[in-house]
Structure 1
Amino acid sequence: MTVPISDVKVNDLVFVKPGEKVPVDGEIIEGTTAIDESMITGESLPVDKTAGDMVIGATINKNGFIKIKATKVGKETALSQIIRVVEQAQGSKAPIQRMADQISGIFVPIVVGIAVLTFLIWFFFVDPGNVTSALETFIAVIVIACPCALGLATPTSIMAGSGRAAESGILFKGGEHLEVTQSLDTVVLDKTGTVTKGEPSLTDVLAYANWTEDTLLQLAGSAEQQSEHPLARAITDGMKERGLEAVEVEAFQADPGHGIEVKAAGHKLLIGTRKLLQKHHIQYEQIEASVTTLEEQGKTAMLVAIDGEVAGIVAVADTIKSSSPQAIARLKEQGIHVVMMTGDNKLTAEAIAKQAGIDHVIAEVLPEEKGSHCSASGTGKESRHGRRRYQ
């Protein structure tokens, strides 16, 4: 049964098909899938979810059929709270606006008083008895001297600025925060989707034994065509970019959280994590060092086994935006200290930061801890990078 989202109540059960948006915040009761949470967290890679995990409304169910129990609906959902923050920012008064209101509160009565005095002088002395002429001078004084621009320009600019920033994914909690951006000396950037593209792409293909890189990628890409996972699409797109044609896939089975089992071109393929190969008792010690190296570079390495033997590695990663180094260089030219804060491990974060030209990295930070890191650094404490303030 299909019902409007507004009719969904807490504890209602909702079915979400692959490709659909999760309608409300809730808990998965049944099913396994990968959820694209990029619109909330900025993370480019979907998060694997199973029964008992929480999901957020407005995120996208990528490749599994799930049943969820609604825990938050309407104005209580995470998306509604974000919208509320933007609305509050647009309606809040910055210090400069309060000053403008105070000035207007004094200036307006004075202007009205001068206009009335002008009307009386014009009516009784300059052009006696001519109401039209006296009224024109009264209106002229009001139009010219009344501080309309002073009272309207500031709230209009704050509303326009915070709205434009929200379109770019920047949320201001209030007008005062927007105002102080002119005095910023430090900018803290998240990695995924900000410094990087926010979507995975193929970076490495390593072949072993008697297999070539093209053959390995052709088989892996053909197998992954049957999957809807973004990592699978990255491998498939990489195959097409190299001009390789897909081969026929005879059988496909997904092992959620571990990888896939496929029969293609007469070969049995396993593509996925170490656990997948362990499950099938396939030795991979000879490529462990290469897998570790790729992971230290911030890449997701997938092991490939063909016909019961390890055959190679395909790696994907969220690569850096071409505009990131230029943007960061411009910030540095303005004397702004740039910091990258991420939940990734330190080696991965430093590899990305080096490509972007960022000197200071704060890694392995949980999402709920990022605010406290900024607050602690904003108290004026000294660090090896000098005094810094986070706005």
Structure 2
Amino acid sequence: MSEKLFTPNMHTASIQVPVEPGPPAKLSSRIASIDLLRGLVMIVMALDHTRDFFHRSAFTDDPLNLQTTTPALFFTRFITHYCAPIFVFLAGTSAWLQGQRKSKQELSGFLVKRGLWLVLVEVVIMTFGIFFDPGFHLIMLQTIWAIGISMICLGAALYLPFRAIFALGALIVLGHNALDFYQAQHQGAYSPAYHFLHLPGGFPLGTDRFVFFAYPVLPWIGLMMMGYCFGRLFTTLPDKGRNRTLLLGGASLLLLFAALRATNAYGDPADWSGQKSALYTFFSFINVTKYPPSLLFMCVTIGPALLFLALTGNARGRLSRIITVYGSVPFFYYVLHFYILHTVSALFFLARGHSVAEGMAVTNAPKFLPPGEGYDLPVVYAVWAATVIALYPLCRWFSNYKRTHRQWWLSYL
């Protein structure tokens, strides 16, 4: 899901996957470390969606606009940049781990079917949850859509040799920003196919509906392929060797980010520049492009993720167990938290003295969310914390249900 949901700002590197055989990692440790990171990502993700639904400038300004933002607002937005790329990357890793107990044909079929299901969820369930518009006048294709298309492509690519999947993923991740040079010289409109692949935009659907590709899929496909290849680390290296590789890989991605970003030559279409203070110059330096995710965006997000996995692989405390619950049911949590946030924001709208008719009359934004209305950041953080806490019992129940039941449809949720 686009953390900058409704008005995306237009503004990975190659990971060396060892192929040497080695003792496999323990399954429980592997799942715990990945679910811990995924759970943390899900918790942080809800912060930006809460900001979208509750902050007063959510539809009137960009929180990354260095001319108008504050350090607190910039941080609130930037920290959620880590969510989508890590989630897509780990989805690829999960596909590799599923491949340890499924045949190639079974895994390919599952990924294609689940990808198609996710596309349907984005178009129907998520579109309504975000906009509360029964007429579906704007269909916004975002995170769930990008994951679905990426799964379909990964499912098809599974019949290639491992090295070919790795090479294709690396080529996309490292090379897709070469299209920035084409875009800089392009004049006129782009085709829907190009918006589908690499540039946010869309096309009308009839006379009163519009389809918008908020998440062009090409870079996400490459990132999921890299995540799939990354999964091999968990089945070929012992814990010590894997953690050493994770540390080296994470540090290398961050160094690559710093080196390329300093030059303004390649890897992101938006240059950084000196600002009114050292802090804001730093903000400019790290403010890389998410729509679509640039090479530098993937480096600065996946790099810390690898470091996190290396440093928390043995985490077993109570807090880790709580966070892991969210990571064990990400789809359930993701869909539910949107409906909860939008419903609560609608109740706040009515509590401010508006009517249901006024809420449904809102245009160019989700229903009950007129641009310019809302609250300051303390309220955003309070609603975020309350939402995450309220979802914990439901997530824990569903996590336990999935673990103790084997119905086929559970693998699609």
The answer to whether the superposition gives a TM-score over 0.5 is no
- TM-score interval, normalised by the smaller of the two chains: under 0.3
Question: Which of structures 1 and 2 has the bigger CA Rg?
Answer: 1
TM-score normalised over the length of structure 1: 0.20
Higher helix share: 2
Higher strand share: 1
TM-score normalised over the length of structure 2: 0.19
